[in-house]
Amino acid sequence: MNKRCIIPLFALALALMLFPVALAGSVSQVTLKFVKDGQPLADILVEVYDSNNTVIYKGFTDSQGQVILYNVTEGNYTVKAYLKNEFLNSLVEYKFEVEITASQTTYEFDLSLGQSWKNINWRPLLIVAGLGILGFLILFGIGASVGRRVRL
């Protein structure tokens, strides 16, 4: 065999060893779309975790409420989206489990109430509740005892 045949064969064998993921279940582009009450959610934080709980994407949605992932391997993923809760001044985490396949390239996630979510910053609620209880005790607890002392 001459050298002209050996070098391309060696390069092909090396490429097949180094890039097996590209040949087995790779999806070139996946679009994740985030909506609430049917409207796209722009500028929300999104994290995507693979089955080993490793972050493969972290970023913000575009003006159409979308993020695009490139060269994703087929499999199960966890998608987390964080939406600001203006009332509690905190972030609400929405968590979704999704199986990405080559036959589907767009996935839509609805962040309307009733989905899997949790409030990840509850301290402001406790402060407000604590101040409310303290105010109640001051007005009715201490005030009532002071009022009784004055009457005696």
Whether the pLDDT of residue 136 is over 70: the answer is: no
Residues 31-58, mean pLDDT to the nearest whole number: 94
Query: Could you tell me if 93 and 75 lie in one domain?
Result: yes
| pLDDT band, residue 118 (cuts 50/70/90) | low
Query: Could you tell me if 117 and 133 lie in one domain?
Result: no
Query: Could you tell me if 89 and 151 lie in one domain?
Result: no
Distance CA(33)–CA(109), nearest Å, equals 6
| pLDDT band, residue 126 (cuts 50/70/90) | very low
> pTM value?
0.60
Domain that holds residue 83: 3-121
What is the number of structural domains in the chain? Answer: 2
Query: Could you tell me if 37 and 59 lie in one domain?
Result: yes
| pLDDT band, residue 53 (cuts 50/70/90) | very high
Per-residue pLDDT, 124: 47
Query: Could you tell me if 103 and 140 lie in one domain?
Result: no
Q: How many CA atoms lie within 13 A of 75 on its CB side?
A: 16
Query: Could you tell me if 114 and 142 lie in one domain?
Result: no
Q: ∠ at Cα 46 (41, 72), nearest 5°?
A: 115
CA 124 to chain centre: 22
| pLDDT band, residue 111 (cuts 50/70/90) | confident
